[in-house]
Amino acid sequence: MSSSSAAPGRGDKAVKPPMRDALVAAAFRLFLERGYEETTVDDIVALAGVGRRSFFRYFPSKEDVVFPDHERCLAEMTAFLAASAADDEPVRRVCDAARLVLRMYAENPAFSVQRYHLTKKVPGLRAYELSVVWRYERALARYLRTRFAGLGDGVLRADVIAAAVVAAHNNALRSWLRSDGKGDAQAAVDHALGHVQAAFGATPAPPVTQGPEDVVVVVSRRGAPLWRVVQELESALGRG
């Protein structure tokens, strides 16, 4: 999750965390002690020792403090896809983009597991998380739509592959989170994304646009023998 050293589950008590990280740490401490619904923004800023304006400088809402790094990760994914070369295999590229999300979770397993259990208990957070997942999927689909623009079913193919990448990634990620962060998350996600690449990796080439067909008109006398007509046709085609 957060790459900072002050997030829950990781940190050095001797070092005062930056304000953003202090707010995240305070929020999760209160969520675990009191419950998410029972904790207010005023409670969070009081524990963190800052004012309300400081909270809203970093987080638009209480829900956002639960997912503090998704905006950064989405921006990294978008930039990663935008930097793709023309010869990059598109399905492999979106699978690699999904691995950026895994890296965010794996940076701080304890915090990611805490958030997973919290999100399961709060319907509003589950809905918020689904909206975040949808934004990742749309970023992947936009890239693929551009790469498949020359295909007749390019939009359909792009949307199906983007959904498959997200489903495979999330299946492996949630299995890892349910195990309390034990095991090799990278191997699990690689295995899941391997199914996507096996199913969709061979991207068909865009159809070749054919030029206008040549039309040859042969004029022959009525009653001319067939061999004469064939001879005239061959001559017109440049084969004589």
pTM for this prediction: 0.73
Please check the confidence at residue 221 and state whether its pLDDT lies above 90. Answer: no
Percent helix / strand / coil, the chain, rounded to 5:
65, 0, 35
How confident is the model over 125-171, as pLDDT tens digits? 999 999 999 999 999 999 999 999 988 899 999 999 999 999 999 99
Q: How confident is residue 202, by pLDDT bands cut at 50, 70 and 90?
A: low
Tokens at residue 51, please? 């004012």
> Domain locations in the chain?
1-65, 69-200
Cα-Cα-Cα-Cα torsion 131, 108, 44, 133, nearest 10 degrees, comes to 0
Across 32-36, 48-52, 161-165, 210-214, least confident range: 210-214
Q: What is the pLDDT of residue 150?
A: 83
For the chain, percent of residues with pLDDT exceeding 70: 77
Indicate the fold that domain 1-65 takes in CATH: Arc Repressor Mutant, subunit A (1.10.10)
Phi and psi of 110, rounded to 5°?
-60, -45
Whether CATH 1.10.357.10 fits 69-200: yes
**Mean pLDDT computed over 75-84:** 96
**Mean pLDDT computed over 18-35:** 92
Q: What is the pLDDT of residue 189?
A: 95
CB 180 within 8 A of CB 113: yes
Tokens at residue 75, please? 């921006």
3-state secondary structure of 119: helix
Please check the confidence at residue 103 and state whether its pLDDT lies above 90. Answer: yes
CA distance 240 to 121: 84
Q: What is the pLDDT of residue 68?
A: 87
**More confident of the two residues 121 and 208:** 121
Q: What is the pLDDT of residue 13?
A: 45
**More confident of the two residues 161 and 233:** 161
Same fold, 1-65 and 69-200: no
- CA torsion sign for 104, 105, 111, 112 is positive
Determine if residue 13 is left, alpha or beta; phi over 0 gives left, psi from -120 to 50 gives alpha, anything else beta: alpha
Q: What is the pLDDT of residue 28?
A: 93
Residues 6+ apart with CB under 8 A from 37: 122
Phi and psi of 164, rounded to 5°?
-65, -40
